[in-house]
Amino acid sequence: MFSMKWTKIVITSCCFFSMLTALSQSPVNFGVKGGLNLTFFKVTEAQFGNNIETEVGYYGGVFADFEVDEFVSIQPEILYISLTDFQFVNAPIYAKFRLSDRLDFLAGPSLNYFFDFFNNKLKVRGDIATAYNLSDHLNLHMKFVLGFNEVAPNGLFIGAGYKF
């Protein structure tokens, strides 16, 4: 008989492959995006408590948009982020909701691989975003990234995307 661990693995694998099969049959759009990144670090200042420090950087990367129906899609991304002192890769997987002809709302988890930390290089964060579509191909977007601990800081991304 299967143990509980193997049962969970089989169920998770079936769900994952079902989702991939459904997404592979839906219309797919690809694009590029980039812009400005503001990252907020909590730094403890001895007896004064927490102090928020901000670093400014840039980001750029690619995305795919898998249409589920006319109002919902799944949008995975791979972004390279560079700040003054470190670089990392951000890979969010968004559920994207069309609110109007021009406005989209996106939310989902993001995996982050930090190149400059010695331990715990992989972090999970939560993203919420909005995109304003200037045309069928060009959008302006903003997202807020919520880090779940000090080493995965919060961030604000402001940029543009181009869908091919």
d(CA 20, CA 25): 9
- The domain in which residue 83 lies consists of 27-163
Residue 49's SS3 state is coil
Query: Considering its fold, how many domains does the chain have in total?
Result: 1
The string of pLDDT tens digits covering residues 117-127 is: 555 577 788 89
Is residue 52 situated within a structural domain? yes
Percentages (nearest 5) of helix, strand, coil residues in the chain: 15, 65, 20
Asked whether residue 71 is domain-assigned, the answer is yes
Contact 26, 68 (CB under 8 A): yes
Token pair recorded at residue 119: 């331990």
**Within-domain flag for 13:** no
pLDDT tens digit string along 2-48?
455 555 556 655 555 555 555 556 688 999 999 998 877 655 555 55
- pLDDT of 82 reads 87
